[in-house]
Amino acid sequence: MGFIDTLWEWVAVIVGIVVVGGGLVLGLMRGRGGRSATLPRTGDTGGIPDASEVRPSDRPGGIDTLPRPDATDIAEAEPDAGVVDAPPASAPTIERPEAPAGRLQRLRARLARSNSVLGKGLLALLAGGRLDEATWEEVEETLIGADLGVEASTQVVDALRARVAAAGSTDEATMRGWLRAELLALVDPSMDRSIADSRVDGRPACILVVGVNGVGKTTTVGKLARVLVAQDKDVVLGAADTFRAAAADQLQTWGERVGVPTIRSDRDGADPAAVAFDAVSAAAEFEADVVLIDTAGRLHTKVGLMDELGKVKRVIEKKSPIDEVLLVLDATTGQNGLRQAAAFTEAVEVTGIVLTKLDGTAKGGIVVAVQREVGVPVKLIGLGEGPDDLAPFDPVAFVDALVD
C-alpha cells in the first residue's frame, strides 16, 4: 500500500502541474489577443455571431478586438466560412424606361389642353347654329392661326362647307365627326411612321439626329434611347456634337441611366464626322441593334454649317448606310420651323420629324404643315420634360385629343 499511496501522490502532482500550466498558457494567449481569423458559424447569420454569443470584450471598443484576416486566410477559408469583409460597392442603378405603347394616350390630356384653340374653338364656331360667310371666314382664320397653313386651311373649310350644304345639319356631334374626319385626312394615317430600330442586313440600324440650336436634340436622342431600350433594343450613342460645352457629358448621362454606352471624343472641338464614324464602328463591334448619332445644332441659314452636316453624313456612309435622318423641330416656332425643315431636308434627306414642346404654346396644325412642307411624316412628339415624355406619333390619338 505504501507504494500505491506514493504513486497516487505523484499522479496528483502531475495533474496539478498540467492544470496550472494550461491555465497560465491560456491566460497568456488571451492577454495577447490571440484568436482564430475565422468566425464560427451561427445559424443563418453567415458566420457572424449574434448579440447573445458575443462577450463584452468581443464587442467594438473591447479589449479583445478581432484581427482582420489577411489574404492567405481568406484564400484558404472554405466557402461561407464566416470571414467578415466590407460589402462590395453597389452597381449604378439602371432605370427601366416606360414602354412606348400607350404613352400618347397618357399624355392626351396635356395635348388637348394645349390645342383647345384648334378643336374647341372650331367646334364653337361650327356648332353655333349660324354658318354664314363671316363665320366660315372666321373658321379659316382659326385654322391658319393654329399653324395649319393657308392651303390646308382652305381645304378643310371647303370640305366642311360641302358637307353642310349636302346634309343641312350643324349639330355639335355631327360637326365634331366631320371636323375629325377632315383633320385626320390632313394628318394622313397612311404615312409610314416606323423608326429604324432593328439590325439591317447584319449591321446596326443607323439614325442621324439633326436640327437647329436650342430645339432639344441631345435630350431627344437620350429620350429616344429610352424608347428603344424599353423595346429591349441594344443601343449605342454617338456624341458628335463636339462644339457645345458639356453636350457629350449630357448625352453620356442619358445613356448611363439606361445602361447604354456613349462613344465620344476626349476633347472639345473634335471632328464630328470622326466621332460619328467611330460610333458606327463601335456599334458594329458590339453587335448593337441601333446607333443614334447626335449632331451639333446649326442655323439652317448658315451654308458652311449645313455643308459640314453633309460631310458628317458622307463619312458615316463610308462605314454604314444611314437608315434614318430625324429632324428635331421646336413645335412653338411655327412657320419658321417649316423653313428649317426645308433646308435640312435639302442637306441630308430627312426621313422623319420629331416635334418637341408640343405641350406648350404650340398649335396642333404644325403637324400637318410640316408634313406637307417636306413630304415626310412626323414620327415622334415631345409632350413634356419628363424622361419618358417622348412618344411615337399616333395620328388617330392626336386628332382625337384635338376634337374631344
Question: What pLDDT tens digit does each residue of the chain (404 aa) get?
Answer: 454 455 556 656 565 665 555 554 444 444 444 333 322 332 333 332 333 333 333 333 332 333 333 333 323 323 332 323 333 344 567 888 877 776 766 666 666 665 555 677 777 788 776 788 988 999 898 888 888 889 999 999 999 999 988 887 678 888 888 989 999 999 999 999 999 999 999 999 999 999 888 888 999 999 999 999 999 999 999 999 988 878 999 999 999 999 999 999 988 788 999 999 999 999 999 999 999 999 987 776 676 778 888 899 999 999 999 999 999 998 888 777 788 888 888 888 899 999 988 876 667 788 888 898 888 999 999 887 888 889 888 898 888 877 77
Same domain, 136 and 177: yes
Q: Residue 353: its pLDDT value, please?
A: 94
∠ CA 176-395-380, nearest 5°, is 140
Q: Residue 210: its pLDDT value, please?
A: 93
User: Considering 153, 187, 221, which residue would you say is the last residue of a domain?
Assistant: 187
Residue 63 domain-assigned (yes or no): no
Same domain, 178 and 255: no
- State the DSSP code for 200: B
- State the DSSP code for 115: T
Cell 453567415 sits at which residue? 46
Same domain, 376 and 340: yes
Same domain, 367 and 221: yes
Residue 137 domain-assigned (yes or no): yes
Q: Residue 260: its pLDDT value, please?
A: 95
Q: Provide the grid cell at 158.
A: 371647303
Same domain, 182 and 215: no
Q: Residue 190: its pLDDT value, please?
A: 93
Q: Residue 385: its pLDDT value, please?
A: 83
Q: For 204-214, give one letter per residue: b (16+ CB within 10 A) or e.
A: bbbbbbbbbee
Helices (H), 188-246: 217-230
Residue 122 domain-assigned (yes or no): yes
CATH number at residue 348: 3.40.50.300
Report which secondary-structure segment, H or E, holds 315: helix 303-319
Same domain, 292 and 331: yes
Same domain, 274 and 380: yes
Residue 15 domain-assigned (yes or no): no
Residue 110 domain-assigned (yes or no): yes
Q: What residues contact residue 110 under an 8 Å CB cut-off, 6+ apart?
A: 359, 383, 384
Same domain, 156 and 210: no
Domain residue limits at 109: 103-187
Same domain, 299 and 177: no
- Beta-bridged to residue 352, according to DSSP, are 326
Q: What residues contact residue 339 under an 8 Å CB cut-off, 6+ apart?
A: 300
Q: Residue 170: its pLDDT value, please?
A: 74
Same domain, 134 and 231: no
CATH number at residue 129: 1.20.120.140
Residue 180 domain-assigned (yes or no): yes
Backbone dihedral angles phi then psi of residue 82, each to the nearest 5 degrees: 95, 15
User: Considering 187, 222, 239, which residue would you say is the last residue of a domain?
Assistant: 187
CA 232 to chain centroid: 12
Residue 382 domain-assigned (yes or no): yes
Same domain, 140 and 244: no
Residue 157 domain-assigned (yes or no): yes
Q: Residue 36: its pLDDT value, please?
A: 31
Which of these, 349, 205, 217, lies nearest to 272 by C-alpha position?
A: 217
Domain count, the chain: 2
Same domain, 140 and 253: no
Q: Residue 18: its pLDDT value, please?
A: 55
Q: Residue 60: its pLDDT value, please?
A: 34
